[in-house]
Chains A and B, each alone.
Chain A
């Protein structure tokens, strides 16, 4: 009985390892670039988080996917229309605040190969939408950076615009 359990556990571990390798390799080669929602219960999302589901969550995923796709494609026009005039972001610890112009410059000059959104949490009231998620980005096929991200959007007559964005990424060498 114990040996059957051990074999089962071993098989489960092997399948998980294969899945992980497959995921990382697809992420490298840019196959995955649209976010999965709550696919993996990564522990950074607290259990008592009140998240909105349905249309708000779909809207949040759509907006963030459009944003990161524009970064990936270095689409200056799209980025300019997404980032609101009052946009500010947060850089590294010693940099502090980043202006809209600087953020666009940084994003345009980045080498984003692919990205993955997971654990998307969206909270909305009227024309303000706050989105948090776990982001994994692959740059230059050599570095994977992952970490929590938090962005705030507002609805205008021209559509949704991002007013602030924070991504605290930690690099994991492969």
Chain B
């Protein structure tokens, strides 16, 4: 009986490993590029007031558009998205301007990205989004929490600040 259980557990483990390898491979080669929402509930604190429905969908749409523009090196789209007053975190020790952010994003070699645990809070024309981001650059995967703030203008939504605190794994 015990050996049957052990074999079952081993089989389960092997299947999980296979899934994990396939997922990571897909992430590497840019196959997966659109975020899943609340796939892993762990990092979100229990008493977080999460808006759902349209606000959450809007948040995912905006962030996916932003990261797709980064992935495709779409300068026009990035210029439209980043507001004139934009400031961002360029790394752990520096804050960067709009121009520097665009330069940095255009120089990046993003091959895939995955958004998870998206939390969106909105009040009128201001939308704050936090999520867990995993990006793959060449052979490196960088995961980390992300926060971005958006405002609604007559030309659509624009990002006014952005912080991605990623750690290279």
Q: Are A and B co-members of a single complex?
A: yes
Are B95 and A90 closer than 8 Å at their CB atoms?
A: no
Min CB distance, A70 to chain B, in Å?
A: 20
- CB-CB contacts below 8 Å: B77-103 with A: 83-89, 92-97, 99-100
Complex Cα–Cα for A102 and B161 (A): 21
Min CB distance, B17 to chain A, in Å?
A: 23
Complex Cα–Cα for A129 and B126 (A): 12
Are B145 and A84 closer than 8 Å at their CB atoms?
A: no
> In the complex, what residues of A have CB within 8 A of residue B131's CB?
96-97
Min CB distance, A90 to chain B, in Å?
A: 4
Can you name the residue of chain B whose Cβ is closest to the Cβ of A165?
Answer: B147
Min CB distance, B55 to chain A, in Å?
A: 10
- Count chain A residues whose beta carbon lies closer than 8 angstroms to a beta carbon of B: 44
Are A130 and B161 closer than 8 Å at their CB atoms?
A: yes
Can you name the residue of chain A whose Cβ is closest to the Cβ of B132?
Answer: A96
Chain B's interface size range is 35 or more
> In the complex, what residues of A have CB within 8 A of residue B44's CB?
96-97
| Interface membership of chain A positions 155-174, coded 1 if the CB is closer than 8 angstroms to chain B and 0 otherwise | 00000000110101010000
| Interface membership of chain A positions 97-115, coded 1 if the CB is closer than 8 angstroms to chain B and 0 otherwise | 1111110000000000000
Complex Cα–Cα for A91 and B129 (A): 14
In the assembled complex, B43 has its CB within 8 A of some CB on chain A = yes
Are B121 and A96 closer than 8 Å at their CB atoms?
A: no
Are B85 and A150 closer than 8 Å at their CB atoms?
A: no
Are B145 and A93 closer than 8 Å at their CB atoms?
A: yes
> In the complex, what residues of A have CB within 8 A of residue B105's CB?
none
In the A-B complex, the 9 residue pairs with the closest CB atoms: A97-B130, A132-B95, A96-B145, A86-B121, A123-B85, A86-B123, A96-B43, A166-B163, A88-B128
Binding site for A on B (CB under 8 A): 43-45, 47-49, 83-89, 92-97, 99-100, 117, 119, 121-123, 126-132, 144-147, 149, 151, 160-161, 163, 165, 167
Binding site for B on A (CB under 8 A): 44-46, 48-50, 84-91, 93-102, 121, 123-125, 128-132, 147-148, 150-152, 154, 163-164, 166, 168, 170
